[in-house]
Amino acid sequence: MNTLQLNRSDIERILPHRTPLLLADSAVLGSQTVQTVFYVDPDMDIFKGHFPDDPVLPGVYITESLAQCADILLLAMPGNAGRKPLLASIGGMRFFRPVRPGDTLICEAELDTSSPEMSTYECRTCAFISGSSDGEKLKAAQGHITLCLK
């Protein structure tokens, strides 16, 4: 199976998102899967209020990271370039461990079901943080994300 390596500039050509809400630095794109990597910068403004004494990346940011991961997969499919991804639903999202400043957030999305005639796509998603120098990944969240392409 062929994969395509994407850097931040490549991702910006695919996604409509921009800083400060573009939550992917790089990606590896397959035909039915994608993995994104995002460095959780300790200087992100969100940590000034969530929570100053014990900063944690909010669950909505993790969910948005997973949605953007799925967006990359869908927008890279033939016929979908330039379309606008809209979040349609989130199913069974669970959070297992906090994501903190300085962590590397790794998101994975796999196309589960699609209805191109309705422009809807459901993806299984999972987020990890890199756990140690040996490359171990620790699960941070998982759930299903359904997107509609406009």
Q: State the Cα–Cα distance between residues 53 and 62, nearest whole angstrom.
A: 20
The answer to whether 132 touches 83, Cβ cutoff 8 Å, is no
Question: 8, 17, 50, 100: which one is catalytic?
Answer: 50
Q: Is 50 a catalytic residue?
A: yes
Residue recorded with tokens 């759930």 = 143
Distance of CA 39 to the CA centre of its chain: 12
Helices (H), 54-145: 59-75
Q: What distances in angstroms separate CA 132 from CA 103, 135, 136, one per listed residue?
A: 10, 6, 6
Query: Which positions are annotated as active-site residues?
Result: 50
